[in-house]
Copies of this chain bind each other. A is one copy, B any other.
Amino acid sequence: MIDKIVPTLEAAVAGIPDGATVLVGGFGTAGMPFALIDALIAQGAGDLTIVSNNAGNADTGLAALLATGRVRKVICSFPRQHDSWVFDGLYRSGEIELEVVPQGNLAERIRAAGAGIGAFFTPTGYGTLLAEGKETRRIDGRDYVLEYPIHADVALIKAKTADRHGNLVYNKTARNFGPIMASAAKLSIAQVSEVVPLGALDPESVVTPGIFVSRVVVAHEETPPSW
């Protein structure tokens, strides 16, 4: 019997080791797994590498995790925001490493990890600072940069509905990084608003098949506005 539903947030994040690379879903607050991030803070793993689109906003979610000092490195596309003061402070004082990746390369690198691709040539970033030192190649008259997959130990994502197999559907633009992150981590953990009986999700509309999901936990939380 397959039952990936775990009863508590504590059980959901159990066993995440020090030194883990953790993918964290969300674009703005949409799809950001706040409850799982809080659970990870409580769980206490350190020396983490966090891969997410941003590097935290205000003092909650990712920013709260960064504030614990347990994050060694952030890989993201857009760390600097009007309310990214936690990250900004750590970065300026040299307490955190940063790898900035164009958003589409970030997404494709995560997808490549899940899809078993060893590396790929992307046109994005060619001829810019972010491609410095990287292998390039001209193919069919266009210039490309070679990018590598981002494999992770853990993914923390948020979806709308799950069944006990871990099949997921999402809500609107909260889908964003969830499906690809689920595929790229050894341990993929989804917080969802509700669990439905097996068979209730239409097989034509499942976005993340359960094979990509290790644990599911129900977390009732309001998504705070991003604006």
Contact = CB atoms under 8 A, between A and B. Distances in A.
A78 interface: no
The copy count of this chain in the complex is 2
A112 B140 CA distance: 14
A100 to B, nearest CB: 21
Contacts of A140: 118
Interface band, chain A:
20 to 34
A209 B115 CA distance: 22
Interface in A191-220: 202-205, 207
Contacts of A207: 204
14 contacts: A108-B117, A116-B122, A116-B123, A117-B120, A118-B120, A118-B121, A118-B144, A120-B121, A169-B204, A170-B204, A171-B204, A172-B204, A202-B205, A205-B205
